[in-house]
Amino acid sequence: MSRQASGLMAWLIQRATGVYLALFSTYLMFHFTFDPPTDHASLVAWVTHPAILVALLLFVPVVLAHAWIGIRDVMIDYIHILTLRMLLNIFFSFTFVASGLLMFKAIATAGIGG
């Protein structure tokens, strides 16, 4: 893949993930504003609903891809010392992987403890 095609792919992924994040965040805002769960059991029931569960499981890689492309582009534009940029890339890679694993664990175990 050429360098220009790689930039175009990153741009498309950033836009697509941004649309999903905007739509799902709007849904969450309206849901929790107008129909908030009254207790833990109702929150667990909401999270374990198949449509919500799929949307939340899709949310994890979408938010991580969006964040990765965004932080990578900022570092490419503003951090000119290659070693520092590589170290920050490694740091953010581990941070995003750990965050993703914790988010998946929280979603997967939502109904177990309730």
Delimit the domains of the chain by residue range. 3-108
- pLDDT string in tens for the chain (114-residue length): 556 667 889 999 999 999 999 999 999 999 999 999 999 889 888 988 999 989 988 999 999 999 999 999 999 999 999 999 999 999 999 999 999 999 989 888 875 554
Q: Are 69 and 60 in contact (CB under 8 A)?
A: no
Rounded (to 5) percent helix, strand, coil in the chain: 85, 0, 15
| CA nearest to 65, candidates 18, 22, 102, 27 | 18
pTM for the full predicted model: 0.83
* pLDDT tens per residue across span 29-58: 999 999 999 998 898 889 889 999 899 889
The CATH classification number of 3-108 equals 1.20.1300.10
CB 18 within 8 A of CB 66: yes
Residue % of the chain over a pLDDT of 70: 92
Distance between CA atoms of 105 and 56, rounded to whole angstroms?
12
